[in-house]
Amino acid sequence: MAEKIESLGEKIKIVINEEITFTTDSVLLANFSFPGAKSNVLEIGSGCGIIPLLWCKNEKSYKITAVEIYKPSFDLMVKSVKLNGLEEKISPLNEDIRSLSKHKSFLGAFDSVVCNPPYLPDENPCRTLGRTIARHEKTLSIEEIIKLSYLFLNNGGYLYLCCRSNRLCDVIMHMKLNKIEPKLLRFVEYVEGKPPKLFLIKGKKGAKPGIIVENNLILQTKNGKYSKESEKIYGHL
C-alpha cells in the first residue's frame, strides 16, 4: 500500500497510507492531554503515532511509550519516529497492552495514560483490519483499558480519554470502579448547536470525588466557519 508523508507543522512529519491515518479524535485528544515537562507518558493504541508526534512539536523533555498491537500501524509509527529523529523521546512498542501488565517496570510507572479507545462492539467490522481494531472492541475493550490504566499509573497520575458520547456512562462507571476519579469533562460539538458526538475526559488515580464540566468545544460555528478554538488547535497542521 502506497505511503505518503504529511507535515504536522513546525518540522514534524508523519507517515501514513490509505488504510492507516489519523482522525479528529486523535488531534483533539493530543491537545487535551499535553504532557507536563519531564512526564513519563504511556499511550495505548498509538496507531500511526499522531498523538506522540504532536506532543513533540515543542521542546519539553518527556518520555513517551507508544504501544500499538497492529503491526502495519506500528511500522508506520516507527518510520515517523525515525524520520523526525525522535528516538530519544518516543519508544514505540508492538505489543498487546495486556502483556505489559506482567512487567513490574510498567506498574505504577507513568504520570499519565492516554487512549482514544475503540467505541463500537466487536461486530459489523470495518473494511480493513486496521480500522476494525481502532473502532471496534475486537482486541481491547474500554473496561480493560481503564483497568490496565489503573495498574500503569502512579498514585495521583492522570488518565485521558476521547470517546463517543454514547459511551460516557460506561467510561465513568469503569473509572470509578477502578479508583480513577473523573475530574474534568468536555463535550465536543462538530457543529455548533448539534448534539455532541465526542467527549474528552480526565481522571485522577486515587483522587477525591468532584468533577468540572467545561463549556463544549465547538469545532464549526452555525455559519459553517471553524471556531477560533478549533483554528488554534488545527492551525499549525
Q: What angle do CA 123, 127, 133 make, to 5 degrees?
A: 55
Cα distance between residue 62 and residue 39, in whole Å: 5
Question: Grid coordinates representing 144?
Answer: 480493560
Backbone angles phi, psi at 163, to 5 degrees: -150, 170
Residue 235, judged by CB atoms within 10 A of its CB (0-12, 13-18, 19+), counts as: exposed
pLDDT of residue 120: 57
What are the strands, taking DSSP E only, across the chain?
A: 3-7, 13-17, 40-44, 63-67, 90-93, 110-115, 153-164, 180-191, 198-205, 212-213, 217-220
Residues 6+ apart with CB under 8 A from 232: none
Q: Where are the domains of the chain?
A: 3-234
Pairing of strands 3-7, 13-17: antiparallel
Pick the CATH number of 3-234 from 3.40.1190.20, 2.102.10.10, 3.40.50.150, 3.90.330.10: 3.40.50.150
Residues 147 and 102: beta-carbon distance below 8 Å:
no
Q: What is the pLDDT of residue 125?
A: 55
Q: Please list the pLDDT of the chain residue by residue as tens digits (237 residues).
A: 789 999 998 789 999 999 899 999 999 999 999 999 899 999 999 999 999 999 998 878 889 999 999 999 999 999 999 999 999 999 999 999 999 999 999 999 999 999 999 865 645 554 555 454 555 455 689 999 999 999 999 999 999 999 999 999 999 999 999 999 999 999 999 999 999 999 999 999 999 999 999 999 999 999 989 999 999 888 756
Q: What is the pLDDT of residue 132?
A: 47
Helix (H) or strand (E) holding 166: none
pLDDT at residue 121 in the model: 61
Which among 106, 14, 23 has a CA at the least distance from the CA of 52? 14
Q: Read off the pTM.
A: 0.92
Lookup result for grid cell 518540522? 11
